[in-house]
């Protein structure tokens, strides 16, 4: 990691850890990243990954990767594998073997029995709707279930029958016996276990009852000797239940939960449920669509792990909810690629240009730098010829002085090559320009015109004889509004221009472009080969980001 990344940023969580270490509360720091394998990780998860693994790295501690796999109906091994790949791609390494909450199902069951034996849990037969009704509201207390005062013996028997599959789904559940009048709804006899007849990706059909997140998470933390359990602010009230469970079972370790604000990013969603909707409705081409805020989508679009880590470093860790501008994320990838991306030339909307004062079949090999400020990136050979492609937007028959590209009767420089002058054009029957005819000042390779003429514009090009056909996927923000999550109908806010496909040409050096290696296509933006569909026989380039922010007012 870079020097900037290894510099330890201050935040309230690190201050807590510093105080705990100074007081001798812990000898080593142990964190965990506990995703539920019910979807792909998104940029919000990247913030949590950088926080949990970053703290472990900085304090020479440990960080576990633990899958919160207590809901088999929504989980899949595809998600498990994608999460493992994303964490590793971001540059982090988990301690020891991968953990699963399901590793602890036997222990969790035993702790549930302990709560029943202590008179602190009971089997309830209210329906889901009745439980919700009995729970009360923010202004009214709940009321006790009629099954709340069952004996310990009866609850043990019923819970065993639940485990043996003698109840249908929804016919019984295990609830904690806490306080139905608590001002915190999470403490009004929360459900600890529910019945689900679903095959689990780790335990198969061994279980038909599964523990709830709030019961599982704190115990898993304690089993793994986690010192600081870091989660987002929506779990702030749940900390009371986290502590209550650990206070009332016979487990020695005592982790502490701390909450930080989640990452909210403009023009996108960070809800796996809503992202799943986009996938299911085929608004996007899967979880790794380059318009998705998933880590795999960002990777496919050309974002680097360094840029995402830098973004997470810049936004910091606080308790204050806020919305981060998309420009902040885009700035990180621009800063990264401006320094690291080799340059190349591509024409996305081609029109032919013929230099008439060069002979038929003329060809010259130019030796050019791969990066204007970094000689270590080497050089490449670039074929220059009589017939070229330029971008259609780089020519006008008439233009004002602000237009610095090729104009009929005026001069411009071809990047790395000569000064040319547009003399005439051919058009088709519809009036579209098909060919631009030019003359070339052959004394201007690498130098200004000898008579002192000032040529201000520079345009890019590719040789017709050596150009390689390519598809360019111009990705933009998926939503038209800054906060799509606030809209009643998320799908109505889709930006219909979030993907525009162009067909053009790239220079010959890109025929073997490596997957996920970004290039700056001069004057066009940063692009990378698509790691799903691109091949040497069909080059496809995804636009990572433009050279500048075009969304600013």
Q: Are 241 and 249 in contact (CB under 8 A)?
A: no
398: its two tokens: 């008439």
d(Cα 187, Cα 6) in Å, to the nearest integer? 41
Q: Evaluate whether 268-340+468-553 and 344-463 have a shared fold.
A: yes
Q: Per-residue DSSP letters for 213-249?
A: HHHHHHHHHHHTT-SEEEEEGGGTTHHHHHHHHHHTS
> Phi, psi (5° rounding) for residue 238?
-65, -15
Catalytic annotation on 262? Answer: yes
- 508 SS3 class: helix
Q: Which of 32, 99, 272, 386 is catalytic?
A: 272
Question: Longest C-alpha distance within the chain, in Å?
Answer: 104
Sequence spans of domains, the chain:
1-265, 268-340+468-553, 344-463
> Per the CATH hierarchy, to which homologous superfamily does domain 344-463 belong?
Ribosomal Protein L25; Chain P (2.40.240.10)
d(Cα 480, Cα 486) in Å, to the nearest integer? 13
Q: Which of 36, 125, 364, 387 is catalytic?
A: 36
- The pLDDT profile of the chain, 553 residues, written as one tens digit per residue, is 555 444 556 899 999 999 999 999 999 999 999 999 999 999 999 999 999 999 999 999 999 999 999 999 999 999 999 999 999 999 999 999 999 999 999 999 999 999 999 999 999 999 999 999 999 999 999 999 999 999 999 999 999 999 999 999 999 999 999 999 999 999 999 999 999 999 999 999 999 999 999 999 999 999 999 999 999 999 999 999 999 999 999 999 999 999 999 999 999 999 999 999 999 999 999 999 999 999 999 999 999 999 999 999 999 999 998 899 999 999 999 999 999 999 999 999 999 999 999 999 999 999 999 999 999 999 999 999 999 999 999 999 999 989 999 999 999 999 999 999 999 999 999 999 999 999 999 999 999 998 888 998 999 999 999 999 999 999 999 999 999 999 999 999 999 999 999 999 999 999 888 877 899 999 999 999 999 999 888 999 999 999 987 765 4
Q: Could you tell me which residues come within 8 angstroms of residue 454 by beta carbon, excluding any fewer than 6 positions away?
A: none
pLDDT at 514: 83
pLDDT at 51: 98
Catalytic annotation on 272? Answer: yes
d(Cα 113, Cα 105) in Å, to the nearest integer? 12
Of 99, 102, 14, the C-alpha closest to 50 is: 14
d(Cα 84, Cα 80) in Å, to the nearest integer? 6
pLDDT at 7: 53
Catalytic annotation on 36? Answer: yes
Sheet with 462-463, edge to edge strand ranges: 458-459, 411-414, 419-427, 433-441, 350-355, 387-391, 462-463
Query: 1-265: which CATH architecture?
Result: 3-Layer(aba) Sandwich (3.40)
pLDDT at 452: 86
Q: Which of 148, 240, 262, 377 is catalytic?
A: 262
Instruction: State the fold for domain 268-340+468-553.
Output: Ribosomal Protein L25; Chain P (2.40.240)
Q: Per-residue DSSP letters for 363-400?
A: EEEEEEESSTT-GGG-EEEEEEESEEEEEGGGEESS--
pLDDT at 4: 47
Pairing of strands 468-475, 499-506: antiparallel
Q: Could you tell me which residues come within 8 angstroms of residue 159 by beta carbon, excluding any fewer than 6 positions away?
A: 112, 113, 116, 123, 174, 193
């Amino acid at each position: 990691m870079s020097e900037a990344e290894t510099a330890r940023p201050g935040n309230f969580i690190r201050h807590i850890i510093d105080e705990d270490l100074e007081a001798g509360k812990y000898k080593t720091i142990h964190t965990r990243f506990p995703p539920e394998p019910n979807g792909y990780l998104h940029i919000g998860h990247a913030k949590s990954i950088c926080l949990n693994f970053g703290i472990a790295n900085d304090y020479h501690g440990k960080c576990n990767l633990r899958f919160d796999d207590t809901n088999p109906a929504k989980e899949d091994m595809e998600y498990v594998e994608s999460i493992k790949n994303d964490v590793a791609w971001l540059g982090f390494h988990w301690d020891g073997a991968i953990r699963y909450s399901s590793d602890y199902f036997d222990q969790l069951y035993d702790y549930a029995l302990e709560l029943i034996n202590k008179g602190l849990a009971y089997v309830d037969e209210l329906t889901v709707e009745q439980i919700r009704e009995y729970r009360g509201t923010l202004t009214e207390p709940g009321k006790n279930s009629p099954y709340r005062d069952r004996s310990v013996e009866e609850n043990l028997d019923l819970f065993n029958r639940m485990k043996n599959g003698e109840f249908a789904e929804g016919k019984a559940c295990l609830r904690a016996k806490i306080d139905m009048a608590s001002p915190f709804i999470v403490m009004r006899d929360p459900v600890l276990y529910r019945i689900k007849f679903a095959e689990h990706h780790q335990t198969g059909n061994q279980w038909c009852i599964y523990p709830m997140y709030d019961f599982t998470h704190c115990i898993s933390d304690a089993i793994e000797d986690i010192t600081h359990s870091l989660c987002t602010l929506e779990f702030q009230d749940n900390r009371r239940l986290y502590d209550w469970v650990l206070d009332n079972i016979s487990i020695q370790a005592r982790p502490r939960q701390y909450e930080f604000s989640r990452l909210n990013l403009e023009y996108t969603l960070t809800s796996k449920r809503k992202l799943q909707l986009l996938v299911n409705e085929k608004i996007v081409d899967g979880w790794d669509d380059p318009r998705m805020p998933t880590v795999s989508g960002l990777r496919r679009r050309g974002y680097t792990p360094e840029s995402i880590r830098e973004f997470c470093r810049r936004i910091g860790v606080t308790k204050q909810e806020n919305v981060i501008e998309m420009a902040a994320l885009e700035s990180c990838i621009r800063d990264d690629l401006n320094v690291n991306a080799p340059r190349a030339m591509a024409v996305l909307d081609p029109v032919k240009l013929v230099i008439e004062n060069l002979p038929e079949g003329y060809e010259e090999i130019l030796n050019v730098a791969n990066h204007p400020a970094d000689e270590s990136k080497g050089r490449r050979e670039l074929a220059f010829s009589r017939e070229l492609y330029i971008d259609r937007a780089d020519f006008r028959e008439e233009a004002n002085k602000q237009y610095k590209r090729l104009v009929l009767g005026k001069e411009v420089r071809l990047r790395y090559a000569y000064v040319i002058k547009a003399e005439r054009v051919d058009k088709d029957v519809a009036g579209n320009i098909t060919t631009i005819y030019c003359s070339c000042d052959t004394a201007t390779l690498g130098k200004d015109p000898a008579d002192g003429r000032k040529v201000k514009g520079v345009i890019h090009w590719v040789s017709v004889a050596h150009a390689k056909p390519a598809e360019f996927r111009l990705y933009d923000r998926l939503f038209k509004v800054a906060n799509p999550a606030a809209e009643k109908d998320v799908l109505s806010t889709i930006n219909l221009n979030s993907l525009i496909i162009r067909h053009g040409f790239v220079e010959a050096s890109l025929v073997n472009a490596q997957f996920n290696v970004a290039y700056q296509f001069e004057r066009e933006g940063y692009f990378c080969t698509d790691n799903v569909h691109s091949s040497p026989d069909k080059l496809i380039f995804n636009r990572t980001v433009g050279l500048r922010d075009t969304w600013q007012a």
